[in-house]
Structure 1
Amino acid sequence: MFDRLMSAKLTQLATPCLVVDSQLVLRNLEALQQYAQQHDLHVRPHAKTHKSLRIAREQLRLGSQGLSVAKVGEAEVLSQSCDDILVAYPAVDSQRCERISNLAKRINIRVAVDSRESVDMLAGVTKAHGTTVGILIDQDVGFHRTGMSSPEAVVELATYVVEQREGVRFDGIFFYPGHVTVPAGEQPDLLRQIDAQLQETIERCREKDIDVSIVSGGSTPSMFQSHHITSQSEIRPGTYVFNDMNTVRGGFCSIDQCAAVVIATVVSTAVAGKAVVDAGTKALASDRNWIVPDSGFGHVIEYPEAKIVRLSEEHGEIDFSKCSSRPGIGERVAIIPNHICPCLNLHDSFLWLDDTGQVERTPVDCRGMLQ
């Protein structure tokens, strides 16, 4: 990978710029599809990571059942290429529900919810439009961000959805195992505990003659261990398409599976032991590594002992005191961000490095879509 990226660096591209290695993206996508096929799982990748029609089309071409999104704006754009989308985020306001209902006129769309208020708002709008939206009820399995806190609460809300009869359709359960960030070998017991919670919910639904056709969960750290949640029917990883230093330092991928880097240029070496590049928070994002918070703001490929010690809006300050050599003014370096999702959202476009080593500017189609 890095040899290919080095050739891209030498084409006099304006920096900072985000370069995506198409070969590595496709390898990452294929690896997940093969795993899912082996374990009879559907893949519904979370497009909040790439926000790209181009990459969404590759995911669908390789076998993804549909897409997950965070916001309705992403669904509206990606519906150009996908007719089966899950909005993995509660919809509680009339404006958002109106847009979801409009999408339901031409695609199969579902929404993850955890309140009667959301069900009521969606049902009211969809009934008025004569459309139907699928509902997945969010069950909190340990991350404690959103979701119903018990199987009983999920069943109660599922019953409420079923009783609506018009505008909304109960399709199943949504969950997010975001708290499972231990190494893969330590995950099975935690995932089996999640499975027990979900199975109890499913059984309680069956007792009330409520069919649970979808159990949707997953994240990049646990995606290759998803088979330990036997009740799960589909997985929704997002970061896996590119990977980043969070997934590397967590042991969930190797560094040569990172498909996206920010190319930056050294603009100053005036301070002893340090160099400054033209990539700051507006190019790299400001996230610290959630596995090793003191590791800096990304990884410099050419100088692995270097540490990005401080970011301001347009400056990245790199400490080279532990390196045997240091870059000069004008030298370019490739940086793997800590967290690729917000990093990509900062860029209007990325450079798609193809099989021949050529780069093509590709828009970030859903950039900035927060609604």
Structure 2
Amino acid sequence: MVNTFENAKERVTQTPSLVIDEHTVRQNLSRLQTYADSHKIAIRPHTKTHKSQQLARMQLESGCRGLTVAKVGEAAVMSEVCDDILIAYPAIDLSRRTRIAELARNHTMRVALDSLQGIDSLAESATAAGSCVGVLVDVNVGMNRTGVSTAQEALALATAVARYEGPLRLDGIFFYPGHIWEPAQEQQAPLQEVDERLGEVIELWRSAGLQASIVSGGSTPTAYQSHWVSSQTEIRPGTHILNDMNTVRAGFCDLRDCGAAIVCTIVSTAVSGKAVIDAGSKTLTNDRNVTQPDSGFGHCLEYPAARITRLSEEHGELDLSDCANPPALGERVTIIPNHICPCVNLQTQMQFQTLDGSLTAMEIDTRGMTS
């Protein structure tokens, strides 16, 4: 394949360096927006992947409805570029819900919740702040991480939110089909199971006089099959803007759709059959590939037969057993990581390769915001 990062590889001043390619990013955004428009589904992308106001602006300009974040620190930063933000994470502790309630004074803030305690606590904070926070009831559709498991539990939570009219607003349903990693052509059945479960919740709410105006779900692996969940009104993919070896090896995109890469330097070839790059677990993370866990810790564009077999904090070891022409000491190579989201979070800055091929430094605005 053509190495989109070939120009950047020789121009970055230091390695390892995270490079984002504008052309690929814009193609990824346009493709998904075209799909979503054709199926009348809104996009509320999850910014945990890129953690950048500049990339968030590009998403909004491409047609996205609003933004999704995980933590309230991210919400505060992203509220500078967007007025409609969903926090896809339970707001239980006092600090988190107080900050959310304060942001809701001047912005549309929504939170996914799955407990009566969470609802009561958020209502208390919103009352104290004199604001109104939208609530999406989190329904477990198979990921088994958060969310209530029955329609009756979802109704109980929705009823509780509705009673707090004023500090809280019942906006709808939240779900995450993160357990679905089947090939795209095999996702119809599991997604229709999700749709049936959501339909049961929606019908029970309707019979109680409650409405789910928003049904928010989606993921990058299921993004282009979202129409199989007929009740869904918006999707929250994150990785799709940049992609990585998880989405490539699972068949959800091609290497040419990867808009982010780590430019590295070969710093040692002293051990026979090996090369060492200056990117270890503090750059590439120890995340194994979701569908091919034995494929290594990323993919080297210049030497596709090489496997990144072991990471220590600052060293990445490439097994060159299958390489006819091994890399040279001091050579720069380009790595597509397994999981781009934590890789971005490990950097303080990324290099943005613009459409004309120039590089500009881009801040990672919500780096390290874990609360």
The residue aligned with 1:234 is: 234
The residue aligned with 1:221 is: 221
TM-score scaled by length of structure 2? 0.99
Does residue 39 of structure 2 align to residue 77 of structure 1?
no
The residue aligned with 1:48 is: 48
Return structure 1 stretches of 4+ with deviation > 4 angstroms.
none
The residue aligned with 2:245 is: 245
The residue aligned with 2:259 is: 259
Answer yes or no: is the 8 Å Cα contact 2:3–2:301 preserved in 1. Answer: no
- Hey, what's the Cα distance between the residues in 2 that align with 1:62 and 1:9? 28
How far apart are 1:135 and its partner, in Å? Answer: 0.2
Answer yes or no: is the 8 Å Cα contact 1:133–1:168 preserved in 2. Answer: yes
How far apart are 1:285 and its partner, in Å? Answer: 1.1
Answer yes or no: is the 8 Å Cα contact 1:77–1:366 preserved in 2. Answer: yes
TM-score scaled by length of structure 1? 0.99
Answer yes or no: is the 8 Å Cα contact 2:286–2:297 preserved in 1. Answer: yes
Answer yes or no: is the 8 Å Cα contact 1:4–1:357 preserved in 2. Answer: no
- Hey, what's the Cα distance between the residues in 1 that align with 2:12 and 2:365? 25
| CA-to-aligned-CA distance 1:145-197 (integer Å, 9 cap, x gap) | 00001111101110111112231111100000011100000000111111011
- TM alignment of 1:337-356, pairs within 5 A: 337-356=337-356
- Hey, what's the Cα distance between the residues in 2 that align with 1:157 and 1:11? 54
The one-letter code sitting in structure 1 at the alignment partner of 2:315 is: H
Does residue 166 of structure 2 align to residue 156 of structure 1?
no
Answer yes or no: is the 8 Å Cα contact 1:24–1:257 preserved in 2. Answer: yes
Helix, strand or coil for the counterpart of 2:210? coil
| CA-to-aligned-CA distance 1:28-60 (integer Å, 9 cap, x gap) | 011111111000001000000010000000000
- Hey, what's the Cα distance between the residues in 2 that align with 1:112 and 1:172? 9
How far apart are 1:4 and its partner, in Å? Answer: 3.8
Answer yes or no: is the 8 Å Cα contact 1:296–1:309 preserved in 2. Answer: yes
Answer yes or no: is the 8 Å Cα contact 1:111–1:134 preserved in 2. Answer: yes
Answer yes or no: is the 8 Å Cα contact 1:73–1:369 preserved in 2. Answer: yes
The residue aligned with 2:330 is: 330
Helix, strand or coil for the counterpart of 1:99? helix
- Hey, what's the Cα distance between the residues in 2 that align with 1:324 and 1:249? 23
The one-letter code sitting in structure 1 at the alignment partner of 2:103 is: L
The one-letter code sitting in structure 1 at the alignment partner of 2:254 is: S
The residue aligned with 1:268 is: 268
The residue aligned with 1:314 is: 314
- In structure 1, the gaps of 5 or more residues are none
Does residue 190 of structure 2 align to residue 177 of structure 1?
no
Helix, strand or coil for the counterpart of 1:344? helix
The residue aligned with 2:147 is: 147
Helix, strand or coil for the counterpart of 1:253? coil
How far apart are 1:356 and its partner, in Å? Answer: 1.1
- Hey, what's the Cα distance between the residues in 2 that align with 1:40 and 1:11? 42
- Hey, what's the Cα distance between the residues in 1 that align with 2:107 and 2:23? 31
How far apart are 1:13 and its partner, in Å? Answer: 2.0
- Hey, what's the Cα distance between the residues in 2 that align with 1:177 and 1:111? 18
The residue aligned with 1:126 is: 126
How far apart are 1:2 and its partner, in Å? Answer: 4.2
How far apart are 1:306 and its partner, in Å? Answer: 0.4
The residue aligned with 2:302 is: 302
Answer yes or no: is the 8 Å Cα contact 1:195–1:228 preserved in 2. Answer: yes
How far apart are 1:309 and its partner, in Å? Answer: 0.6
The one-letter code sitting in structure 2 at the alignment partner of 1:353 is: Q
The residue aligned with 1:210 is: 210
**CA RMSD for the aligned pairs?**
0.8
The residue aligned with 1:277 is: 277
How far apart are 1:357 and its partner, in Å? Answer: 0.8
- Hey, what's the Cα distance between the residues in 2 that align with 1:161 and 1:5? 49
- In structure 2, the gaps of 5 or more residues are none
- Hey, what's the Cα distance between the residues in 2 that align with 1:261 and 1:3? 10
- Hey, what's the Cα distance between the residues in 2 that align with 1:12 and 1:351? 8
How far apart are 1:222 and its partner, in Å? Answer: 0.3
Does residue 41 of structure 2 align to residue 67 of structure 1?
no
The residue aligned with 2:100 is: 100
The one-letter code sitting in structure 2 at the alignment partner of 1:227 is: H
Helix, strand or coil for the counterpart of 1:293? coil
- Hey, what's the Cα distance between the residues in 2 that align with 1:170 and 1:66? 18
The one-letter code sitting in structure 1 at the alignment partner of 2:156 is: E
Answer yes or no: is the 8 Å Cα contact 2:85–2:110 preserved in 1. Answer: yes
The residue aligned with 2:189 is: 189
Helix, strand or coil for the counterpart of 2:191? helix
The one-letter code sitting in structure 2 at the alignment partner of 1:143 is: M
Answer yes or no: is the 8 Å Cα contact 2:4–2:256 preserved in 1. Answer: no
How far apart are 1:129 and its partner, in Å? Answer: 1.4
Answer yes or no: is the 8 Å Cα contact 2:134–2:168 preserved in 1. Answer: yes
Helix, strand or coil for the counterpart of 2:46? coil
